[in-house]
Chain A
Amino acid sequence: MKHFTLHIRLALDCNAQCTYCSSANNASGRIGIGEFKTALNFIADAVFPKLGVGQDHQLAIEYLGGEMLLIPEREIRLFTEIARDRLGPLVRGLRQGVQSNLIGSERRVLALHDLFGENIGTSWDNYTGQRRTGGSASLYKAILNKSLRTLSGKRGFSPGRVIVVDSAIAEYLEREVRDAISGGYDLVLRPVFKGGSADVSHLSTDELAMLFSKCHKIWSENPRVRIEPFTSLFKRRINRGRADEAGEDSALESAGCPFQHDCAFRSLSLGPDGSLNVCQEMADASRYSLGNAILETFNDHVWRLLARRSFRLAAECRNCQWLAECAGGCMNEAVEAHGDPFARTELCPAWKAVFMEIENDILSGRAAEIERVMAQ
């Protein structure tokens, strides 16, 4: 089973003003129903065949922001039905999910859950106040916490959360990991990228490596929730040499962003203006446009260039002992740092620090216990 992710942004508009986000205060409107149908028809008829997406694939459609809660409930339902009916028959399995800040009324949040079930993720920052709505971090936090209580109380569901890791959050990150473990929710630690906003404040790669190393240790002592990238990298490393039991679950498990060199075959991003890119981060950074699905254009030349990454990884990556697990890392990161999709990502030291921790766990015999707890 192969897997493919289609990122869809129905709008860039957002009701929040997070300091590191490209959608802060955006109000550029959303894609129309007719345009959406045209775009999906083009993707189904012209793009998926080029990318080899078909009956071997598990397709994950991820709706991203802007903020989905700004789109009327009836329209969200209609968009998802159109996507399901048009793309579902082309693939073996289809799952639709959404990333929402959950800054909305209780009714809207529950409606989102009714539509997407447990395929809802949200953004998280419990300490720095960089996430704001109406200019207020405390208002953002109050509304988000209310939404989380609603989902927990009325649906028994706690969404996975994404933390953008920048220099402001560094001193709180270990606490965030401990909170996730004690709170029983999944967490993704995602280093901030420059495409989002001009105001981002990066950690140095050494600082990030040290921080991820510490956070991995905390997770590995109690790995009962999924903390990314630790869970995925651990699983990949521990499964090295084991047979791949292809199945739906297996395909979702191995869905690999940002640890893949073949993004050109694994993901596509559709913007509200019809713009096509390999992923939403490349879209944010306006890099390597693949065309426009509303205008029914696809830039085969650019896609072929990006598709060559599996063959053109940098020598440092080809010779790395963790290539099979890291797969060269994020192509967008490589472009961001070096202007070259085939270069080594700047985050390499951070991933290596995590791998070193995993190797220590294997050598000390702790890996078997970690695996046992994860399987429970």
Chain B
Amino acid sequence: MQTKTLNELHDINMKSSEINQLSNIPVIWGVEVDEIVTRPPLGLRQIGLLWDGEAPDMISDNLIDSVISFSLAGVEVIVEIRPEDRIDHDYLLVIAANAGFCISAIPPERKSGVETWSNQCARFADALMAASNFSGNLYPVSGYLTYLVMEYFGGAKAAVPSDLYTRQRFAEQVPQNWSDIAKSHMRKSLSDAAGGENELKGYLGSILKAIHGEARRQRLQQLKAWKSTESQTAA
């Protein structure tokens, strides 16, 4: 069998049954699940699987089994939501937290889809603010929240994404003006969910405080463990 390039496969709307034709590609995205892959290709670290559901709050068995298979093989799974997909955002965040996968609101292929995509991002931003136990990545909302923290407290004007998925799926695919529209929607949604711009700033501050507090708590525990080891050694 001849090995195809990633671009060739994306051109033909890639299916899960085709991914074993690839090798040594760390990130694949836009994969439609048409069969359960039991042995992911070598070198694969991250995969974006397109949403497949029987209802907005009913993920399909096929997608579940695929998430399980890739996760068990040590591949990080991102469930990708197209702008036109009808989903229950709160539901998806809960099951993502339960099952340990990430979520991505993927951008449209055409300009006509930008408003729908931006609304999708805004709904996710709103759901994220209410989610109590989701700690994975929610693209592009998590990245935007990180940027807001930097902007508010560090004066950052822009953030360059460091991970391959964000670079390939968003930074290199989305024109700046599309991105600005989505950011504007997300910001409004975050602000509304927080109760206003000042409250949003307070929320971002609490994120920083929580990070600092947790780091301090862990440092104290390490120090305590180290002292205990020292005293045992001395004894």
Contacts and interface: CB of A to CB of B under 8 A. Distances in A.
Check if A and B associate: yes
A265 B68 CA distance: 10
Interface of A: 50-52, 240-243, 245, 261-262, 304, 307-308, 310-313, 315, 318-319, 321, 323-324, 327
B133 A324 contact: yes
Q: 6 shortest A-B CB distances, which residue pairs?
A: A324-B133, A52-B72, A310-B98, A310-B99, A318-B94, A311-B64
Given A243-B218, A323-B133, A324-B133, A313 B64 contact: no
Majority SS at the chain A contact face = loop
Contact of B98 (A241, A245, A261): A261
Contacts, number: 50
Contacts of A327: 98
B199 interface: no
Contacts of B217: 242
A51 B68 contact: no
B142 interface: no
Give the size category of B's interface with A: 20 to 34
Interface in B54-85: 57, 59, 61, 64-65, 67-68, 71-73
B91 interface: yes
B214 A243 contact: yes
B64 A308 contact: yes
B97 interface: yes
Contacts of A262: 98-99
A324 B132 contact: yes
B164 interface: no
Given A261-B98, A318-B95, A323-B94, A307 B68 contact: yes
Nearest to B98: A310
Nearest to A322: B132
B59 A311 contact: yes
Interface string B11-26: 0000000000000000
21 contacts: A52-B71, A52-B72, A241-B210, A242-B214, A243-B218, A261-B98, A262-B98, A304-B68, A307-B68, A308-B64, A308-B65, A308-B68, A310-B95, A310-B98, A310-B99, A311-B59, A311-B64, A311-B95, A323-B133, A324-B132, A327-B98
Contacts of B95: 310-311, 313, 318
Interface in B101-130: none
Contact of B99 (A240, A242, A311, A318): A311
A304 B132 contact: no
Given A261-B98, A318-B95, A308 B61 contact: yes
